[in-house]
């Protein structure tokens, strides 16, 4: 497994070693020891989540705060998404900056997003199955989010805005400037 640091400290792109032959392929998608060595910290995942979405669905930008903050390891099992992480750590040199990457079943890449980040994704294929591990259990009272089109974040979703499918909850999320600061 290759661990490629992004410009956001602690956020890594993971490229697994994929062994292909006439039968298909084999890869190790997660190994706790390899992972912890690769990201340089001990992360113990306790919850797995999976979603199915159609083209144009934008989920995010979500985060958990305080003692319920979550690190995530995300990947796509079917289809393709534009995955986005936003650094919300006030002490970070990259506070308010984002990183985006195309994750797909074909490229098998994964993204590790540490605690203190918002996360979201946009489905760019006809459908997608999105899978992620969390190092902390979900807590509704600690949930927060940022509006996807915050001008300060300036995220290029590279998709026609009038074709986005966004939940009622996500379309009323605050901007970074108006979000609760509870890190």
pLDDT at 180 over 80: no
Q: Six-digit token pair at 131?
A: 């899978």
Q: What is the pLDDT of residues 58-80, one digit of tens each?
A: 999 999 999 999 999 999 999 99
pLDDT of residue 178: 87
pLDDT at 183 over 90: no
pLDDT of residue 182: 55
pLDDT at 131 over 80: yes
The DSSP call for residue 165 is: B
Which has the higher per-residue pLDDT, 24 or 179?
A: 24
- C-alpha span between 127 and 119 (Å, rounded): 19
Find the largest Cα–Cα distance for the chain.
54
The owner of tokens 């003692």 is 67
Q: What is the pLDDT of residues 118-129, one digit of tens each?
A: 999 999 999 999
Averaged over 106-127, what is the pLDDT? Answer: 97
Residue ranges with strand state E in the chain: 2-5, 12-15, 18-21, 24-27, 47-54, 58-64, 72-78, 80-87, 98-104, 110-113, 117-123, 127-134, 143-145
Q: Is 131 left (phi over 0), alpha (psi -120 to 50) or beta?
A: beta
Give the three-state DSSP class for 182: coil
Q: Six-digit token pair at 161?
A: 């805005």
Any idea which residues carry the catalytic annotation? 62, 132
pLDDT at 109 over 70: yes
pLDDT of residue 105: 97
The owner of tokens 């936003």 is 86
pLDDT at 181 over 90: no
Q: What is the pLDDT of residues 93-105, one digit of tens each?
A: 999 999 999 999 9
């Amino acid at each position: 497994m290759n661990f490629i640091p992004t410009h956001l400290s602690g956020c890594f792109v993971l490229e697994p070693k994929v062994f292909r032959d006439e039968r298909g392929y084999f890869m190790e998608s997660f190994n706790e020891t390899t992972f912890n060595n690769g990201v340089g910290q001990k992360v113990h995942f306790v919850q797995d989540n999976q979603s199915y979405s159609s083209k144009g669905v934008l989920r995010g930008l979500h985060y958990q705060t305080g003692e319920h903050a979550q690190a995530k390891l995300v990947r796509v099992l079917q289809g393709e998404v534009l995955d986005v992480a936003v650094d919300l750590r006030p002490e970070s040199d990259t506070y308010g900056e984002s990183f985006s990457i195309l994750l797909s079943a074909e490229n098998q890449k994964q993204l590790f997003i540490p605690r203190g980040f918002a996360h979201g994704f946009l489905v760019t294929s006809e459908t997608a199955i999105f899978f992620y591990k969390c190092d902390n259990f979900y807590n509704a009272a600690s949930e927060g989010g940022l509006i996807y089109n915050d001008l300060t974040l300036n995220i290029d979703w590279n998709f026609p805005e009038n074709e986005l499918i966004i939940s009622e909850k996500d379309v009323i999320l605050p901007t970074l400037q108006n979000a609760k600061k509870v890190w």
